[in-house]
Amino acid sequence: MSESLPFQPDAAATARDGELRAFLLRFIGLTLLSGVTIGMNKVLATLLGLHLHVSNFQLATISSAETLAMALGTIPAGYILSRGNPKHLYAGVSLSLALAFCVLPWLPGWQWVALLMFLVGLCISLRIVAMSTVFLVRLPELGQGKAGWYKGTLILGMQFLGPLCGNYLIAQLGLKAGFLISALMFAILAVLGWQVLPNNTAPRKQAGHASLPGAASLRELLRLPVVRVTYLFEILASFTASSVGVFSILLAIRVLHWPAHHSVWLMAVQGLSCVLVLLFLGRFVLASRYREQLYGGAHLAIMGALLILGLWPDSIAYLAASVLLGLGLGVNNLVNTDNIARAPVDKARVSAHLTLFGMVGGTAGALAAGRLADLTGLRNVFLIWLFPWLAGWLAFHGSRWLRRAPPAAVSSLAPTAESAP
C-alpha cells in the first residue's frame, strides 16, 4: 500500500494534464473555425457593400452595425448564459446565424444589410461571452504561457485565414455562394460547440474565484491603476484595429491600385503578425525584465504604423505598416491579458467589461473613420488617430519614464500571486 501512495498523485496529475490538453485542443479548434467564419464574413460584407455601390460612411455603417449590436448584447448575454445551458444557447444561436447568412446576399439595399448585420451581432455577442468566459476561467489551470492563445487563434482566423478563404471563395464561386458556405460553417459550429462547451460554467467559475476577494463593480475596478490602463489601451486598440480592418481593402484598391483579389493581403499581413506575437512570444514578452519598455514600444509601433498609412502611399510601406500594427496590437493584448489575470479583480466581470469596451471602441472607430474619410480623405483618418494614441502614451508611459518609476504592473500585482490558490 505504501508503494502505491506516490503513484496516486502522479496518476491524478497525469489525468488532469490529459484533460486540460484535450480541452485546449478542442477549444482552440472551435475558436479557429469561429474566427475563420468571422473573417470571411467581414470580407463578404465589405464586398457586398461595394457591390451595392455604397459610400465610405455607408460601408462603415454596415461593418459597425454588427459590432454595435455585439456591444449592446454583451451584458444581457451574460445574464442569459448564467441562467441557461451554454450548449443549447450556442447551438441555437449558430443555427440562427446560418439562416441569416442564407438571406443576406439577396437583400435589396445597404440599409437592410446593415439591419440584418445588427441582428447577427446580437447573436454573436452570446457566443463571444461564452467562449471568453470559459477560457478566462480555465486560464489559471492552463498556465499563463497560454494567455495569448485564445485571442491569437481567433485573430488567425479573423484576419488571416478567414479573409483569404472569403477572397478565394468569391473569386472562384461568386459572392452569393460565399455567403451560403459561411452559413454552412455556422451550422458546423453549432455541432462543434455542442461537443466543446460545458453544460454550465458557473460551478467552475465560482470555484476558480471563490478565494479571490477581487474588485467587481466598475467603480471599484477603476480605482486600480492597472485596470484603468488596461481599459484605456484595449479601447484604443479596438478603435484602431476596426478602422484599419474596415478600410484596409479600400486602401489597397483605391490608394495602392491593387487588383481586388490581392487587396485582402494588407489585412492578412497585419493579422498574421499579431498572431505570431500572441502564440509564440508570450513567454518572452511577459517574463522579460524590459516588459514595460516593450509595452510602451508596442504603442509606439502602432503610432508609427498610423503615420505610415497616412503619409507614405506605397505598397512596401503599407505592408511594413501592417506588420508594425500587428506586432504592436499583439504585445498590447499580451500585457493587458496578463495584467488582468494577475490583478485582484473579478475575472468574469473584467472580461465582460473588456468585451463591451472593445466592441464600443470598434464601433466608434469604424463609424468615425467612415465619416472622417468622407470629409477629409481616407489617408487623413490615420493621421487623426495618432492624437488619442499620443495622449495615452504621454499620460502613461511618458510620465512614468520621466519619473523613472518601477513597473506598476509588476509591483501592484505582487500580492495577487500570494493570494492565488
Tell me the per-residue pLDDT of 295-305, one tens digit each, with 9 for 90 and over.
999 999 999 99
pLDDT band at 307 (very low <50, low <70, confident <90, very high): very high
Cell of 418: 500570494
- Quickly count: other Cβ atoms within 10 Å of residue 374's Cβ: 15
26: number of Cβ within 10 Å: 14
- Picking from 161-175, 297-311, 396-410, which range would have the lowest pLDDT averaged per residue? 396-410
Q: What share of the chain has pLDDT > 70, as a percent? A: 83
At 215 the three-state DSSP class reads: strand
At residue 174, the pLDDT reads 84
- Count of C-beta atoms within a 10 Å radius of residue 293: 13
Residues recorded for the chain = 421
Local confidence band at 408 (pLDDT 50, 70, 90 cut-offs): very low
More confident residue, 192 or 49: 192
| pLDDT (mean) for 316-328 | 93
Q: What is the pLDDT of residue 3?
A: 47
Q: For 50-73, write each residue's pLDDT tens digit.
A: 788 878 778 778 877 877 787 787
Looking at residues 226-236, what average pLDDT do you find? 88
Tell me the per-residue pLDDT of 70-106, one tens digit each, with 9 for 90 and over.
Answer: 778 776 776 676 666 777 788 888 999 999 999 988 8
Neighbouring CB atoms inside 10 A of 324's CB total 23
Q: Which residue has the higher pLDDT, 379 or 138?
A: 379
Split at pLDDT 50, 70, 90, the class of 166 is: confident
Distance (Å, rounded) from C-alpha 127 to C-alpha 140? 22
Does residue 393 surpass a pLDDT of 60? yes
Give 405 or 326, the one with higher predicted confidence: 326
Alpha helices of 52-109 — where are they, by DSSP H? 56-83, 86-103
pLDDT of residue 20: 83
* Mean pLDDT of the chain, nearest integer: 79
Q: What is the pLDDT of residue 411?
A: 42
Strand partners, 51: none
- CB of 286 within 8 A of CB of 334? yes
137, with CB counted inside 10 A (0-12, 13-18, 19+), is: buried
Q: Is residue 230's pLDDT more than 80?
A: yes
pLDDT of the residue at 187: 93
Say whether pLDDT at 214 is over 70. no
Dig out the grid coordinates for 325 from the structure: 500594427
For 288, phi then psi, to 5°, come to: -70, 145
pLDDT at residue 416, as a whole number = 41
pLDDT at residue 210 tops 60: no
- Give pLDDT, residue 308: 93
Q: Is the pLDDT of residue 362 over 70?
A: yes
Q: Which amino acid is at 215?
A: A
Residue 78 CB-half CA count within 13 A: 14
Give the count of alpha carbons within 13 A of 353, CB side only: 22
**Which of 24-28, 38-42, 318-322 shows the lowest mean pLDDT across its residues?**
38-42
For position 250, what pLDDT does the model report?
Answer: 80
Measure CA of the first residue to CA of the last residue in the chain; give whole Å. 30
Kindly state the cell numbers that stand for 203.
460551478
* Location of C-alpha cell 452570446: 126
The secondary structure of the chain in percent helix, strand, coil, rounded to multiples of 5, reads 85, 0, 15
pLDDT value at residue 98: 92
Grid-cell match 484596409, residue found: 248
Which residue in 281, 386, 403, 399 sits closest to 332, CA to CA?
A: 281
pLDDT level of residue 215 (50, 70, 90 thresholds) = low
Q: What is the pLDDT of residue 303?
A: 95
Per-residue confidence (pLDDT) for residue 275, from 0 to 100: 87
Which helix H or strand E contains 142, and what residues bound it?
Answer: helix 110-142
**CB-count exposure of residue 120 (10 Å: 0-12, 13-18, 19+):** buried
CA–CA separation, 309 and 389 (whole Å):
15
Q: What is the rounded distance in angstroms from the CA atom of residue 157 to the CA atom of residue 275?
A: 9
The percent of residues above 90 in pLDDT, for the chain, comes to 14
Q: Residue 55: phi, psi to the nearest 5?
A: -80, 175
pLDDT of residue 58: 82
Rounded mean pLDDT, 222-244: 86
